[in-house]
Amino acid sequence: MKQTTNKTLLALAISSAVCANAWALEPAAVKLGDGLAFTPTLKLAENYDDNFRAEETDEDSSWVTTIAPTLMLGAQGAKTGYSLSYTANHEIYHSSQRDTNTDHLLGADANFEFDSRNRLRLNADYRKIEETSSDSRDQFGQLIQNDKYNTRSVGAGYTYGADSATGQIKLGANYNELRYDNTALNPNGSVLNADKERDATALSAAFLYRVGPKTRALIEGRHTDYEYVSNKQLDSTNVAVLVGAVWEATALTTGSVKIGRERKDFDSNLKDDRSGAMWEVGVKWEPLTYSSFSLNTRRALDEGSDNASAIRSVSTTLAWNHGWSERVSSEVSYTRSDQKYLEVARDDTIDTLGVGLTYKVRRWLDVGIGYKYSENDSTRLGKSYERNIYGVTLNASL
């Protein structure tokens, strides 16, 4: 199995560039009652992918048609808000019918403002995914089937302190399950990807202190327990402490900076504990009302894959979004991701460049064209690849 986290992030990056500025759409809702609204949207896309399995050699290419309707039901009250959404993402691979698949994404959110000091957010989601660029193979390297998995998660976030208060406390909790749907067997009789199935329980707490009209300093602690279904050697606990600041509309910028350290302790004595610097930075600079630049960078310990106990990841994304007129906008983005696989001899450097142009035909219809180039330079034989994707997208609503 290829590194699922990498491929998922790459797929999201590809989607965001090939379907540039999809959020320019202004969908209208159908009112069903007092505060209750139904909002349907539809994405149609035609892409040409010259290496949809992300292979070093013997690349498979195909035209891919995407049909993705989204149904959203929302209710808004004076101090409450609820939403339920469902997306079916159907991909038709014209050169490889066995890869045609449908992803399902179901999400629910609830927000409560009990008073000016107490706010609660609840969320839950279910995702059923098939990935052509993350697959399972036999001992001869022959493709058995695409990786197929599902995730279930529930979370909650509580904030104490008014928006205007000097201090705020934020608490968070999240539980996530990862399960694979592969049914084929390895030569030794084991189920494919069974060693990757896991549960994760995450807790966080942060204290924010106002140091300016729009700026707050913060200190944050995180604690995550990873429990694997069968691969018990990877059971571990991640602990991180971060300090930094968040700000809004200060000198034309909005963003947050968090810097600290992270430690991963394995339950098994057969695995080496790990620690190191950690950071999360997201900054948006808007020198003009129609033009913005963003920087997002992260360094952290991610869960392992391909026999690695963990992956030390460093990723940076630069993006420029520009509105050329009321109807035409563009986006250019570049991402570099460095992945160091711990306890195995593998380092990956993934470079991704995307450009996209969106034309707002009507309030309810956008047309976009885009191109994405990605390249992985890996020290592991057979893991490097180059990939080009060209696409046209229509986003429609009522």
Q: What confidence score (pLDDT) does residue 143 get?
A: 59
Q: Count how many domains the chain has.
A: 1
Residues in the chain: 398
What is the amino acid identity at position 4?
T
The whole domain housing 289 covers 4-397
Query: How far apart are alpha carbons 372 and 62 in whole angstroms?
Result: 15
Q: What confidence score (pLDDT) does residue 242 get?
A: 98
Q: What confidence score (pLDDT) does residue 189 get?
A: 58
Question: What is the CATH number for 313?
Answer: 2.40.160
Asked whether 299 and 311 are in contact (CB, 8 A), the reply is no
Q: What confidence score (pLDDT) does residue 6 get?
A: 44
What does pLDDT average to in each consecutive run of 10 residues of the chain (398 residues)? 44 43 72 92 97 91 97 94 97 95 97 96 97 67 76 98 94 96 63 85 98 94 96 95 91 92 95 95 94 97 90 97 96 97 95 97 96 96 95 96
Q: What confidence score (pLDDT) does residue 185 get?
A: 60
Query: How far apart are alpha carbons 365 and 363 in whole angstroms?
Result: 6
Q: What confidence score (pLDDT) does residue 252 get?
A: 86
Query: How far apart are alpha carbons 216 and 167 in whole angstroms?
Result: 9
Give the helix/strand (H/E) hosting 125: strand 118-137
Q: What confidence score (pLDDT) does residue 5 get?
A: 42
Q: What confidence score (pLDDT) does residue 138 get?
A: 55
Query: How far apart are alpha carbons 328 and 321 in whole angstroms?
Result: 11
Q: What confidence score (pLDDT) does residue 23 get?
A: 45
Q: What is the DSSP string of 157-219?
A: EEEES-TTSSEEEEEEEEEEEEEE----B-TTSPBTTGGG-EEEEEEEEEEEEE-SSSEEEEE
**Does pTM top 0.85 for this prediction?**
yes
What is the amino acid identity at position 388?
N
